[in-house]
Structure 1
Amino acid sequence: MLNFFSEDVEFNLPRPLKTKKWLKITSESEGYVIGELNYIFCSDDYLLEINKEYLNHDYYTDIITFDNSEEEKQLDGDIYVSLDRVRENAETFQVDFETELRRVLVHGLLHLMGYGDSNEDEKASMREKENQHLTSF
């Protein structure tokens, strides 16, 4: 089950059915199935508090992924997305909001699959996977 929620912001995901199908196809193409996966859209301030409380990080971020998976190859978790960061990143990278939002959505999914981004090699691999999956939306 794939769910989209808003927390402290009003937001309606553009093309939710197409997005769900795309995320499902993306996970299957990587050899995974989606179990219970929640995307929670929120503000910078909301996500900053989560970052401080759970990760002891005192900075803004566009996404935080909590992996609740218990079965191998099944994706379960909560993915928090700061819409403020997505908007700012879209401007920075000169792409439209929806494109950047999809990048962040698939980024969180890739994290649940074990892809990291803590060093330059991991970041390059993650970006390559994001770009690969963005073309199939």
Structure 2
Amino acid sequence: MSLQLDYSNEQDKVDIPEAWIARLEQLLQLAGEAEGMTMGEVTLTFTDNEQIHQLNRDYRNMDRPTDVLSFAMQDDGTDELDIIFEVESEDEVDPISGMLGDIVISVEKAVEQSEEYGHSLEREIGFLFVHGFLHLIGYDHETESDEAVMTSKQEAVLSKAGLSR
């Protein structure tokens, strides 16, 4: 098994070309390689500002749309119930252990930001995806030094994929 991307498009404002999905799969492999990860599954959902606003309000108590949200499955679990999976045979695999988590991207917000920053929508979605992936595996940007580390990692992956500003 390798790093796998599963995606859904729940918005109708922007077409999501298959070439972008291929690019996101490439970014997942590059980001995983940079972090020494070879296995896991990421679920990506493309949405609009209205849906991400609701998610942001419900899960983060922030009553506004945002660009990307990440929901890690491999969290430390301090505030969550343990999920117990009973294996009935040696061939059975725990269906949750390989899940890294979910990334939700507002395509509307990505359009706004790509115009604001003066780069392509493909680059902005790639940036948001790598940003979300890094959150899934434990990176954050609560402090200036954490933000510098995360920004450096994001830019290195995007540059390697040819998606520089």
Please indicate the TM-score interval, normalised by the length of the shorter structure: 0.7 to 0.9
Provide TM-score, normalisation by structure 1.
Answer: 0.87
Could you tell me how far apart the structure 2 residues matched to 1:11 and 1:117 are?
Answer: 30
Q: Quick one: which amino acid aligns to residue 51 of structure 2?
A: Y
Q: Name the CA shift for 1:13/1:66 in 2 (closer, same or farther; >3 Å).
A: farther
Which whole-Å deviations, capped at 9, do the CAs of 1:88-115 have from their partners, x for residues lacking one?
A: 1111111111111111110011111211
Per-residue CA deviations over 1:6-36 (Å, capped at 9, x if unaligned) read 1133642451224313312321221123422
Say which one has the larger Rg.
Answer: 2
Cα-Cα RMSD = 1.9
C-alpha change, 1:17 and 1:8, in structure 2 (3 Å) is closer
Which of 5, 20, 30 matches 2:25?
A: 20
Q: 1:129 aligns with which of 153, 161, 165?
A: 153
- Please give the alpha-carbon distance, in whole angstroms, between the structure 2 residues aligned to 1:24 and 1:38: 14
Structure richer in helix, relative to its length = 1
Percent same amino acid among aligned pairs?
A: 27
CA distance in 1, matches of 2:60, 2:23: 32
TM-score by length of 2: 0.73
Q: Decide which of 1, 5, 25 is 1:2's aligned counterpart.
A: 5
- In the alignment, structure 1 residue 78 sits paired with structure 2 residue 102: yes
Maintained 8 Å contact 1:32/1:75: no
SS of 2:160's partner is: coil
- Which of 1 and 2 has higher RCO (CA within 8 Å, sep 6+)? 2
Q: Distance between the aligned counterparts of 2:36 and 2:58, measured in 1? A: 33
Q: Which whole-Å deviations, capped at 9, do the CAs of 1:48-104 have from their partners, x for residues lacking one?
A: 000111121112210000001275xx6611100001111111111111111111111
| 1:112 paired to 2:115 | no
CA distance in 2, matches of 1:118, 1:26: 21
Number of residue pairs the alignment of both structures matches? 135
Aligned-partner residue type, residue 94 of structure 1:
G
10-19 vs 103-112, greater mean Cα deviation: 10-19
Residue 29 in 1 paired to residue 49 in 2? Answer: no
Distance apart, 1:128 and its partner CA: 1.1
Distance 1:34 1:84 in 2: 31
Q: What secondary structure, in the 3-state scheme, does the structure 2 residue paired with 1:116 have?
A: coil
Gaps in structure 1 of 5+ consecutive residues: none
